[in-house]
């Protein structure tokens, strides 16, 4: 290799180093799906900073612009940034929740839509738990059969004969509960660094926001 080629190799190493670091990160045993979109955004910002760094350096500028164009134009990367399970996984990672507008393609304008999708997912988890509980109760009642009826007092039969009406469960009660849970999570003031372990956070918050915890680790 000629002496004049070494500056080009140096530039290539500097430009490709972030991608090498990213490869090592996603290959680690503790890598998670919630890191995918932030990592893509980080690589894009790193390349933009290199554009400024190589200002006046024609070769460096050309290489960085080429990589940046490839990153932005890659169909698979674009799909990752738009797919719901990637976006919601990022949203329920407490390291990123306060900066979600930087990670979704629509920015602030689309953040409300993703918040509503998260609420819908948590509400669905709540309904699933309620349905399983109702099924267990129904099965238990069927097993007890008429023996249970014989053991009930006359007064306990008020509901059976329509003399007491139990308030029906509101259809949107699960969604209302989910909205409160998501709001509580978003308003939580605990701030985690990039190197923090989200699992430790959720172990502390598990009982407080159980349906959201189940969505995070399902």
Q: Is 6 among the domain residues?
A: no
Tens of pLDDT, residue by residue over 143-184, are 555 555 556 677 777 777 777 765 555 556 899 999 999 999
Domain count, the chain: 1
Residue 66 lies in a domain: no
HSE-CB of 142 using CA atoms within 13 angstroms? 6
Q: How far apart are CA 181 and CA 172, in angstroms?
A: 14
pLDDT of residue 18: 94
| Coil, helix or strand at residue 149 | helix
Q: Domain limits at 161?
A: 108-218
pLDDT of residue 171: 55
pLDDT in tens, 3-39: 667 888 999 999 999 999 999 999 999 899 999 999 9
Sign of CA dihedral 28, 33, 35, 37: positive
Within 13 Å of residue 110, how many CA atoms lie on the same side as its CB?
Answer: 15
Q: Is 188 a member of any domain?
A: yes
Residue 190 lies in a domain: yes
Q: What is the pTM of this model?
A: 0.78
Look at residue 138 and give its three-state secondary structure.
helix
162: left (phi over 0), alpha (psi -120 to 50) or beta: left
Question: Is 163 among the domain residues?
Answer: yes
pLDDT level of residue 141 (50, 70, 90 thresholds)? low
Whether 15 maps to a domain, the answer reads: no
Query: Poorest-confidence range of 35-39, 132-136, 194-198, 208-212?
Result: 132-136
Q: What tokens does 22 get?
A: 């990213």
Share above pLDDT 90 across residues of the chain, in percent, rounded to a whole number:
62
Q: Is 165 within a domain? A: yes
Coil, helix or strand for 54?
coil
How many CA atoms are closer than 13 Å to the CA of 93, on its beta-carbon side?
24
Q: Give the range among 122-126, 140-144, 183-187, 210-214 with minimum mean pLDDT.
A: 140-144
Closest C-alpha to 196, from 94, 103, 91, 89: 94
Residue 178 lies inside a defined structural domain of this protein: yes
- Residue 14's pLDDT is 92
- Higher model confidence: residue 141 or residue 24? 24
Residue written as token pair 């080009």 = 8
SS3 70: helix
Over 80: is that where the pLDDT of 213 sits?
yes
- CA geometry: angle at 161 spanning 158 and 165, to 5°? 65
Name, in order, each residue with C-beta under 8 angstroms of 12's C-beta and a sequence gap of 6 or more: 63
């Amino acid at each position: 290799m000629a002496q004049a080629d070494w500056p080009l190799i140096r530039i290539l190493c500097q430009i490709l180093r972030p991608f090498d670091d990213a490869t090592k990160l996603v290959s680690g045993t503790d890598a998670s799906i919630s890191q995918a979109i932030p990592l893509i955004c980080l690589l894009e910002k790193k390349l933009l900073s290199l554009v400024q760094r190589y200002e006046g350096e024609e070769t460096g500028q050309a290489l960085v612009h080429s990589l940046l164009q490839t990153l932005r134009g890659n169909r698979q990367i674009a799909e990752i940034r738009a797919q719901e399970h990637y976006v919601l996984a990022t949203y329920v990672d407490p390291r990123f929740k306060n900066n979600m507008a930087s990670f979704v393609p629509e920015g602030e304008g689309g953040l409300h839509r993703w918040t509503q999708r998260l609420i819908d997912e948590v509400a669905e988890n709540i309904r699933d738990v309620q349905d399983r509980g109702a099924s267990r109760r129904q099965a238990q009642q069927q097993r007890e059969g008429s023996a249970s009826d014989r053991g009930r007092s006359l007064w306990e039969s008020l509901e059976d004969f329509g003399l007491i009406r139990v308030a029906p469960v509101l259809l949107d009660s699960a969604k209302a509960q989910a909205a409160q849970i998501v709001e509580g999570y978003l308003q939580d003031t605990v701030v985690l660094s990039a190197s923090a372990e989200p699992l430790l956070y959720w172990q502390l918050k598990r009982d407080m926001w159980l349906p959201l915890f189940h969505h995070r680790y399902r």
